[in-house]
Amino acid sequence: MSEQQQPNLTVRVDPNEMVQYVHNLMTTPSATAPTATKELAHRQWGGDTPVARAAQLRWSALNRAFGDARVSTWTTHPRRDQIHVPAALIAAAGVARLTMAEEEVVFDIPTLLDATLELCEPVGHA
């Protein structure tokens, strides 16, 4: 990780804006290319802003988190090449604490899941 990215670890992205960013990524052909994720972030946040850089960093960390068994209970795989992710998990990716692990930016998974639960709509009666 470059010294330039270090300040972006603490920048939070509004949960609704994070969901919109990921939605834009998923509905844009060729959005998997790093240049596309950067372009979409710049478009959404008006250029190379701290929030745009943080959103890109958080998106990368969320993709790594999908490989964690603790996150897999929140996702479904209807087909081998698809994954369904609740909006609350994506929204939580905008605000959950990031950390460094083996030269990569990752989410502290328990914190990510706690943030997800806080953003879920209440269901039923307590």
The one-letter amino acid code at 111 reads: T
Provide the pLDDT for residue 11: 94
Give residue 72's pLDDT. Answer: 77
Structure tokens at 87: 């909006």
Running along the chain, 126 residues long, what does each successive block of 10 average in pLDDT?
A: 66 95 86 80 95 94 87 69 73 92 88 86 62
Look at residues 31, 32, 6, 10 and name the one whose alpha carbon lies nearest to residue 97: 10
Residue-level pLDDT at 5: 60
Whole-angstrom distance between the N-terminal and C-terminal Cα of the chain? 45
In this predicted structure, what is the pLDDT of residue 21? 95
Amino acid symbol at 30: S
Beta-carbon contacts of residue 1 (< 8 Å; ≥ 6 apart): 100, 103, 104, 105
Position 1 scores a pLDDT of 47
**pLDDT, position 125:** 58
Q: How many domains does the chain have?
A: 1
Q: What residues make up the domain containing 114?
A: 6-118
Q: Is residue 123 part of a domain?
A: no
User: Does residue 11 lie within any of the structural domains?
Assistant: yes
Answer whether residue 88 is part of any domain.
yes
d(CA 104, CA 86): 24
Q: Is the pTM of this model over 0.75?
A: yes
Tell me what pLDDT residue 86 has: 79
